[in-house]
Structure formats: structure tokens, C-alpha cells
Structure 1
Amino acid sequence: MTGPTRTKGAATRPLLITLVVVVVIAALGFVYASPYIALNNLKSAADARDAQTVNQYVDFPALRDSLKEQIAGMLTRRLDADNDSKMATIGAMIGVTLIGPLVDSYATPDGVAALLNGMPPRGDPGEHPPAAATQTPASPAAGDTPTPATAPASRQTTAGYRGLNEFVVTYRRGEANAHYSAVFRREGLFTWKLAAINLNE
């Protein structure tokens, strides 16, 4: 009786090894794809103004800090380019009062939708994200064509890892190759959250 039992066990061993290999490969594939899935889910939720789902994919305290830093840097560069000291002083005062409300308006589902649809803040007084910042979904790794009524023309979107725990979506616009990026950071093994915006004028 031991002979047939051994033969059966030996026959099932390769099947178990194959099954384990398949499971491991599938798990690694899911780990690799997880930020793309998070990006797609967040964009869909933001476009639908699904605040509950957006909250699951955005680290709002980190995003606020990033927006404050980036908008302050944007305004500083503009002031440094202004040779008129009086205008620079007025601009600095306007800038201080501008940053808080602008950050608050973009740290919302509307703001996240705008950021993920190629419409970052420009630092203009009284600026708010477009109320209907939606487009036809496109692959995050390929260029997509925005709708003329809601987004700048000649925009391309690329996405990819920038380290083991950081995933970056870069939006390139036709305005002298201006670009900005949305930064997702890993939380745990499969969870990714939008945590920062990098504005480059």
C-alpha cells in the first residue's frame, strides 16, 4: 500500500509547487499594479464627487502641507521676477492671504478632481478648482486628450514608480512644456494615497 501512496504524493507535489508559483506571481502582480488601481479608483471617485471614497485615497494633511509649500514657492518665484519693489510688497501681502483659501479649495473632492484632470492651481486671487473638472478616463501610463471645455490643450499624462514607496503621475502641458506631478505614497503593502503635489512653472 505504501507504493501507490508514494506515487500519488509524488504526482501531486509538482501541482502544489506550480500552484504556489502562480499565487506568488499573482500577488506580486497585484502589488505592482496597486498604485495604478488606486489612481483609477481615486480619479473615478473624485470625478463623481464621492467624498467618502476620496478620503480613502488621499492623505489630506500631507496634501495640504504640500500645496502650501508649492503655492508659496510659486508666488515667491513670481515676486522675485517682479522688479518693482512696491508691486512686490503688494503681491506678498496678497499672497499671504491667498494661500490659505486656495489650499482649502483644492484639498476637496473638487480640487482633487481638478488635480487629476490636468488643472492645477495657478495662484490667482480668488481661484477655485473648476466645479466640473472631469474628462473621459484614460490609461494613466499613456497620453490622453482632454476635453476642450475643461482642460488645457496638448496635455499628456504619464505614471510610474519613483522608488519602492512612491508613485508619481506627471501631467505635461503644451505651455512651454510646463508640467506638474501628483505624488502617491504607499501605506502598508497594497494601499496608496495621494500625499503631495509638485508644481513646476
Structure 2
Amino acid sequence: MNHRSQKRLIALLIIAALAVAGYTYATPYLVLHRLKQAADARDAVMVDRYVDYPSLRVSLKEQVTELLMRRVDAQKREHPLAAIGALVGMALISPLVDAYATPDGVAALLNGLPPRGEPGETPPAPPSDATSGAPRGESAQSSTESAAPEAEHKPSPRTSAGYRSFDEFVVTYEDSGGHQRYSAIFERYGWFSWKLAAVDLNR
């Protein structure tokens, strides 16, 4: 192999390495885009590819429990009897987790609608539900109706996304005042695969 051929081979190897590095870096952004599209369309098969449901369930249970504990503590200081509602909510954590560890719940999380820890709460349909190809019918209609007040009175949150570490990618949702509301956390599974694995409610 002559000197020119060696230089060409080295250049090709460098280009290939840069392409692989660029794709590796971009994979969580691609996964986020694909997952949101699949969740909005209620494509359960595709959502399953990008969500670690067991890990998400554990995270949801921990986060909602902490959310309600903070609420109980605050309400005890202000109105002791008002804490009863939050205590009732704590007894219903498992149904809430079951409701959010679903394609509907994932769609809500990715559209700025996290769980609030209310008794009997279920994930509302996201604003894009009407045009996302979601199934029509009584259940879809009731979900849309329950989401209407949420969509009308709350502006869409601002989002930012980026790496927290080599194996963790975080999507942060902020309110109109720039205050962080909650985060959706993706974890690396292999070199090129990422899955939604946790949430941080931050409230």
C-alpha cells in the first residue's frame, strides 16, 4: 500500500469514526422524537420498544409518594384537617402508577401533563390527541373531555433536553416562568438504544 492509499484509508477511518460518534450522540434525541410520536398515536407496540415499564413504575411510585408526603406536611402546618385528602391519595398510589405506566401515561408525560397525585387521577389525553390517530369512541372522548380544562388553562411547557451523563438523558419541562416542573429520564441500553426509565416530579 503506497503513501497516498494509506492517507486515504486513514481519512476514511476518521470519517467513519466521526459518523458513528455523531450517530451515537444523536440517538437519545431520535428516540425521544420516535417515542413521542408513537405515544401520541397510541402505538403500544412502538412505545414498548422505548419504555422500561418496570423501572418507570418504580420511579413513579417513589416520586408520587414523595409528592404526596410533601403535600401532607405542608397541609398539616396550614390546615390539619385538609391533609386528609392527601392521605386518601396516598392509598391510591398503585392505581395511579398503573394508569401512568401505559402508552396514555407516557403520552401525558411527554406532553407536559405529569401526575398530580389526585385521588382517582388518570392520564389526560394530550392536546395532539385529536390529530394523532388515537382510537375514536367513548373512551377516547371521555379522555379528551377530561383533558380539556388542562389544555385550556395551562400553556404548553417549555422543554429542554440533554445529557446528564454518558448513560442518562434528561428532558426537562418548565412552566411559563422558567421554573422547572418535572423531568423525564431516559437511560442507555447498549450503545445505540435508549428507554424512558424514570421521572423526577421536582414538586
Q: Tell me the TM-score range normalised by the shorter chain.
A: 0.7 to 0.9
Instruction: Tell which structure's C-alpha radius of gyration is larger.
Output: 1
- Higher helix proportion: 2
TM-score by length of 2: 0.82
Q: 5+ residue gaps in structure 1? A: 1-5, 138-146
Residue 100 (structure 2) aligns with: 106
Counterpart of 1:150 in structure 2 is 151
Alpha-carbon shift at residue 154 of structure 1 (Å): 5.4
Identity %: 52
For 2:180 and 2:15, the matched residues in 1 are separated by: 43
Shift of 1:155: 1.8
Offset from partner CA, 1:82-118 (integer Å, 9 cap, x none): 13444435532x1233211111111000110110011
Distance change (3 Å), C-alpha of 1:65 and 1:113: same
Q: Could you list the per-position Cα deviations for residues 151-179 of structure 1 after superposition, in whole angstroms to 9, with x for gaps in the alignment?
A: 73152100000011100000001378251
Q: Which moved more, 1:176-185 or 1:110-119?
A: 176-185
Q: Distance in 1 between matches of 2:172 and 2:190?
A: 23
For 2:20, the equivalent position in structure 1 comes to 27
Q: Give 1:53-72 correspondences, 5 Å limit.
A: 53-72=46-65
Aligned length: 184
Q: How does 1:33-182 map to 2 (within 5 A)?
A: 33-83=26-76, 84-89=79-84, 91-92=86-87, 94-134=88-128, 150=151, 152-153=154-155, 155-174=157-176, 177-182=179-184
Deviation, structure 1 residue 43: 0.6
CA 1:57–1:128 in structure 2 vs 1: closer, same or farther (change >3 Å)?
Answer: same
After TM superposition, the structure 1 stretch with the greater mean CA deviation from structure 2, 44-53 or 166-175, is 166-175
8 Å Cα contact 2:111/2:126 also seen in 1: no
